[in-house]
Structure formats: C-alpha cells, structure tokens
Amino acid sequence: GLSRWQKCVAARVILFAASQLGKPYEWGATGPDAFDCSGLTMMAYRSAGIAIPRTSQQQWAAGPYVPPGQEQPGDLVFFPGSDGTAQAPGHVGVVLGGGLMIDAPYTGAPVRVDVIAGEVGFTRPAAGG
C-alpha cells in the first residue's frame, strides 16, 4: 500500500486530472486550456507539489518503476512509443484504479477516462514520501 503522504499526493494528482476532463488534446500543451498526455501528468503532479519531467520518455526514465499488478491510484502508466518498445514510451496517463486511467489521448479526443490496455509499465513519482 501507499503511505498516508502518498495517498494525499495521489488524491491531489487524480483530482487535478479529473478537473481537466473534456479539455482538448493539443500536442505540446501544458494547460490550462488544453493538454498533451505528458503535459497533463506533469501538471497533475505539480498540483501536488512534485516536479516531474516534461515528456513521457523523460517521465518513464525518472521512475521509480512499479511492478505490474502493484500499481496504485495516482501512479503513472506508460504505453509503447512509435518504435513499439518500452524504451521510449510515447503515451502516459494517470492510474485511477480498476483498470482505468485519465489521459489526454490524441488530437481530436478530449482529456478522458480510458481503459488501461497494452501498457509497458508503471511509475510512482510519489515514492519518496
């Protein structure tokens, strides 16, 4: 499980991401009116007082990694990049639990709740608390 502090961070991250539902996807956007996937996750963590890198590849590299099946709400979930590998994930979302995430999926689709499928792994930026 998560520590009390980690649960508070997760709640703030999820509340921020949920408050962006319906906003448009825009490549390179970090809000407040539009987001790309990693812009959404970066700003969600910033709202909880945690600085994480800007891009999905940098966020993945920053870890720390969480074994599959041990992910918790507020963790980040990553998906293969254009090369199809886990080395440079091209998409990231915020884990809600129950196999769901909040993400900014792609041009033409708003920030929304999606099913987690085909992920390459999970990280827990709040692991230090």
| Residues assigned a catalytic role | 37, 91, 103
Distance in angstroms (rounded) separating the CA atoms of residues 48 and 90? 24
Distance in angstroms (rounded) separating the CA atoms of residues 37 and 52? 13
Q: Which residues contact 65 (CB under 8 A, 6 or more apart)?
A: 121, 122, 123
**φ and ψ of 64, to 5 deg:** -70, 150
The two three-digit tokens of residue 4, written as one number = 């009390």
**94, 103 Cβ separation under 8 angstroms:** yes
Coil, helix or strand at residue 114: strand
